[in-house]
Amino acid sequence: MKDIIRAKCLISSDIEALINQQIKKEAHSSAIYLAMASWCNQNGFDFSSDYFFKQAEEERMHQLKFYKYVLDMGGSAISPDITNVKQEYNSFREVFEDALDQEISVTQSIKNIAARCYKEQDFVTLEFLNWFFKEQREEEYKARRALELFDVIGEEGTGRWEIDKHVNKISYQET
């Protein structure tokens, strides 16, 4: 029976496995952003805490989008276990450095799925991934701009407070 079901699946087992890895990566990203939101909240950075809560929710939505895609294509989506989520940060800046690193990692992972899709000529999944590429362009932009606030405003005196106030105001304008 499993072979019959697999024959009706519209994605290969390799692409299904890569997307299931991406589901885990998105869930992990959501958990990381929740930890960042908590750290910011505990350290008095309320606007940044709100920013990371929104990021966590967005990553969860991405996870579900991938999850539903696998199911829609006749595959088996796997609900991931999430472990090793960093809870403590040495500085306010480190939170944003880690956020940028996380977004870059997610983009690279999606690129790897796309590369496999090209190899297999899975143009349906490639089309699905295009939405995520656009989304990642926005996510990386916002993460870079947030980190740049540390250099533009500086952290001395009321700098961290000013940075915190400006984080939620970062927006991406598509060109």
| Average pLDDT, integer, range 49-63 | 97
Residue 168 has pLDDT above 90, yes or no: no
Reduced to 3 states (helix: H, G, I; strand: E, B; else coil), residue 157 is coil
What CATH superfamily classification does 2-167 receive? Ferritin, core subunit, four-helix bundle (1.20.1260.10)
Three-point CA angle 35, 105, 107, nearest 5°: 115
Helix, strand, coil shares, percent, the chain, to 5: 75, 0, 25
**Cβ(49)–Cβ(96) below 8 Å:** no
> Measuring CA to CA, which residue among 34, 41, 26, 23 is closest to residue 92?
41
pLDDT mean across residues, the chain: 92
Residue 123 exposed, middle or buried by CB count within 10 Å (0-12, 13-18, 19+) = exposed
Determine the Cα–Cα distance for residues 151 and 55; give it in Å rounded to an integer.
22
pLDDT in tens, 62-99: 999 999 999 999 999 999 999 999 999 999 999 999 99
Name the band, by pLDDT with cuts 50, 70 and 90, for residue 1: very low
Amino acid in position 133 = F
pLDDT of residue 7: 53
